[in-house]
Amino acid sequence: MSVRVPAKVNLQLAVGPLRDDGYHDLVNVFHAVSLFDEVRAVPAARLEVSVEPAPYSRVSVEGVPTGADNLAARAATLVAARLGTPPAVALRIRKAIPVAGGMAGGSADAAAALVACARLWDDRESPVLSRDDLLELAADLGSDVPFALLGGTAIGVGRGERLTPALARGTFHWVFATAGGGLSTPAVYAECDRIRAADGRAAPRPRVSEDLMAALATGDAKGLGEALDNDLQPAALALRPSLRRTLAAGRDLGALGSLVSGSGPTCAFLAANDEHAAELAADLDGAGVAASVVRASGPVPGATLV
Ligand code: ATP
């Protein structure tokens, strides 16, 4: 059982005030791009996880847990518990999504494991677990996991886990600049809170950008580039100042828009079309401002059996 699952970039990430439960209220416009991890689920005596870079990918998998705390293992354990079966599966993960890169790679693997294990253990004729059940398990695993099941382009509210598909026309072409070493998502949120407290500004209630929605609905890459916005970007730049150079290089090289992806440190650049993306990728690579440069397009579907 093999499942392919995409990375995400946040087209808009509006971060509201800190809630009593420690989360922030978000408006999170997710967009799934054609950079895929693959999770293979093979029956085994007990739960095992292995992680390796996907062929031709330059992802470093150092530090990704291979025990019960791997998010894919947690997903398999949840599915097994719901179906009353032992979690007897070997999960073989091939990563092309940068680790701790702000592209939700761990969440993607969790979503892929949900789909693969449900397929492995559930009744094919009359499944116990519906699509909605999987979405509920996904939300228990993490705020970004439901979107990795759904894919496409979607607006997430709450912690980002309550999703509504967004109307989007056409294909958008992206270039991603990865950085050596990741950034911890909780550390970036904490830095965002710290900066806001130091400024003495209350966080505004997060709202969906109408300009962004209009650009998506009409397939307007220029409009989308101008509307990209990430409230976590100042915090990511404070923790990793070298990203300023990366973003500036992309802008100087003619990207229609640029931003830090999620909590970073991966930077995303929007191109006008496939040809422009190829040029931009080559130029960014030449500028020496990234550990690696990859192209991808979106939107693409969520976790899919292959
Ligand atoms: P997000 O964009 O959702 O904030 P991210 O892309 O920045 O996440 P991930 O690649 O999901 O970050 O990894 C965050 C941490 O999760 C890693 O440092 C790693 O220790 C842990 N982790 C657990 N399971 C996995 C997995 N299957 N793949 C990658 N990291 C995992």
Q: What is the largest CA-CA distance in the chain?
A: 58
Residues 47 and 90: their CA atoms lie apart, in Å, by: 6
pLDDT at 160 over 90: no
pLDDT given for residue 214 in this prediction:
98
pLDDT given for residue 13 in this prediction:
97
Reply yes or no on whether 95 is catalytic.
no
Cis peptide before 265 (omega within 30 of 0): yes
Best residue for ligand 1 mutational test, from 29, 36, 185, 188 (most atoms within 8 Å of Cβ): 185
pLDDT given for residue 134 in this prediction:
97
pLDDT given for residue 288 in this prediction:
95
| CATH number of 172-298, picked from 1.20.1440.230, 3.20.20.60, 3.30.70.890, 1.10.3720.10 | 3.30.70.890
pLDDT given for residue 94 in this prediction:
98
* pLDDT tens figures, 77-114: 999 999 999 999 999 999 999 999 999 999 999 999 99
pLDDT given for residue 18 in this prediction:
86
289 marked ligand binding residue: no
Those residues whose C-beta lies under 8 Å from the C-beta of residue 130, and which sit 6 or more positions away, are none
CATH of domain 2-166: 3.30.230.10
Reply yes or no on whether 8 is catalytic.
yes
Same topology for domains 2-166 and 172-298, yes or no? no
- Ligand 1 is surrounded, with C-beta below 6 A, by 63-65, 70-72, 93, 99-107, 109, 144, 182, 185, 262-263
Average pLDDT value for residue range 246-269 = 97
Indicate the pairing of strand 2-18 with strand 304-305: antiparallel
* pLDDT tens figures, 169-211: 999 999 999 998 889 999 999 999 999 999 888 888 999 999 9
What are the boundaries of each domain within the chain?
2-166, 172-298
* pLDDT tens figures, 204-239: 899 999 999 999 999 999 999 999 999 999 999 999
Single out the residue of 25, 28, 26, 35 nearest to residue 268, CA to CA: 35
The complex scores an ipTM of: 0.94
The protein residue whose alpha carbon is closest to atom 29 in ligand 1 is 106
Indicate the pairing of strand 48-53 with strand 89-95: parallel
Please state the atom number of ligand 1 nearest to the C-alpha of residue 110.
27
pLDDT given for residue 19 in this prediction:
87
pTM of the model: 0.95
pLDDT given for residue 203 in this prediction:
85
Residues 306 and 298: their CA atoms lie apart, in Å, by: 19
Tell me the pLDDT band of 23, cut-offs 50, 70 and 90. confident
